[in-house]
Amino acid sequence: MKYKVIFILLLRSIFWKYYHLNQLFKDQLSREVLINEKLTKRIISLVPSQTELLFDLGLDKEVVGITKFCIHPKGKVAQKEKVGGTKNLNIEKIHSLNPTLIIANKEENEKEQIEELEKHFTVWISDVTDLQSALEMISAVGKMTGKEKEAEELNHKIGEKFSAFSAPLRLKKAAYFIWQKPMMVAGNKTFINDMLQRCGFQNCFQNLNGHYPEISAAQLQQANPEVILLSSEPFPFQEKHMEAFSKICPQAKIVLVDGELFSWYGSRLLQAPSYFEKLAESLRP
């Protein structure tokens, strides 16, 4: 009887320590992810905007792996191991880094590769479609990594900046291009679409199926946008590409825009409102 009691007490102690150190977090796909806050010391980020966020939260040492597209902050990402592209991960490389936490994204990463990683590692997946879900992502990452205070301070600053910026009363009809051949635009239920509205634009193609639908020159002409926005990423639009769009829609104002400030949903959001304000000002008559 004595040994039975000792055994039960020992089991209770083990379980208490286990549940004390491990917490259930829900990711943005409503999946329950068990994370040991004490052991989130080897993080791999598979999304550029979330990589920048991790560094800005002060997790320089904890980040052990990033993608080749993670370019900010420039002075720090150069020192980190690269694990391939966002949609072409080097699974073997990831295994060699032995991460305790992988932070991914529903849209930017391939489902099959993430499912493979989940068999071996803890994977938390974000799903960001607007400013609110971006702030929720930042808050969640802060809680998971022991940087809750820093994350909340960051969210407060972002919220203040967006509250201080007010878009023009009349929304200009706009088409936001992410790719040239084939022509692809930002559609509905995308983070870019939410940023467009906050910036003062009405997305001409928000009613098409798909997040980034392909369109034809005839569709663009029929949509008759007042403004055509050519993003710097993922396709690097430049001035030499503007003429082709001008021939399709000669009445439209064609503008090269910073894709990072329309599509990055981490700490770079701090810079977005001031950029949007300048862009809106430049388009006023």
DSSP string, 173-204: EEEEEEETTTTEE--TTSHHHHHHHHHTEEET
Does one domain contain both 120 and 152?
yes
Cα–Cα distance, 280 to 227 (Å, whole number): 11
Query: Is residue 187 in some structural domain?
Result: yes
Dig out the tokens for 227 from the structure. 């403004």
Does one domain contain both 134 and 154?
yes
Nearest partner of 192 among 236, 250, 233, judged by Cα: 233
pTM of the predicted model as reported, rounded to 2 decimal places:
0.90
Q: What is the pLDDT along the chain (285 residues), one digit of tens a residue?
A: 555 545 544 544 444 444 445 688 999 999 999 887 665 689 999 999 999 999 999 999 999 999 999 999 999 999 999 999 999 999 999 999 999 999 999 999 999 999 999 999 999 999 999 999 999 999 999 999 999 999 999 999 999 999 999 888 788 999 999 999 999 999 999 999 999 999 999 999 999 999 999 999 999 999 999 999 999 999 999 999 999 999 999 999 999 999 999 999 999 999 999 999 999 999 987
Confidence at residue 2, expressed as pLDDT on a 0 to 100 scale: 52
Query: Is residue 13 in some structural domain?
Result: no
Residue type for position 137: M
Cα–Cα distance, 177 to 220 (Å, whole number): 11
Confidence at residue 4, expressed as pLDDT on a 0 to 100 scale: 53
Domain that holds residue 81: 20-161
Does one domain contain both 184 and 119?
no
Confidence at residue 166, expressed as pLDDT on a 0 to 100 scale: 84
Query: Is residue 107 in some structural domain?
Result: yes
Does one domain contain both 141 and 46?
yes
Q: What is the CATH number of the domain that holds 106?
A: 3.40.50.1980
Out of 161, 183, 216, pick the residue that ends a domain.
Answer: 161
Query: Is residue 95 in some structural domain?
Result: yes
Query: Is residue 108 in some structural domain?
Result: yes
Confidence at residue 37, expressed as pLDDT on a 0 to 100 scale: 64
**Cα-Cα-Cα-Cα dihedral sign, residues 160, 164, 170, 172:** negative
Does one domain contain both 100 and 206?
no
Query: Is residue 2 in some structural domain?
Result: no
Query: Is residue 202 in some structural domain?
Result: yes
Does one domain contain both 92 and 197?
no
Confidence at residue 5, expressed as pLDDT on a 0 to 100 scale: 46
Total domains, the chain: 2
Q: Would you tell me how many other CB atoms lie within 10 Å of the CB of residue 67?
A: 25
CA distances to 98, 102, 145, 201, 266 from 23, rounded to whole Å, are 20, 16, 12, 42, 24
Query: How many residues make up the chain in this entry?
Result: 285
Does one domain contain both 147 and 257?
no
Confidence at residue 17, expressed as pLDDT on a 0 to 100 scale: 44
CB contact burial 33-66 (16+ within 10 A = b; e otherwise) = bebeeeebebbbbbbbbbbbbbbbbebeebbbbb
Query: Is residue 101 in some structural domain?
Result: yes
Q: Are 83 and 46 in contact (CB under 8 A)?
A: yes
Nearest partner of 103 among 141, 61, 150, 52, judged by Cα: 141
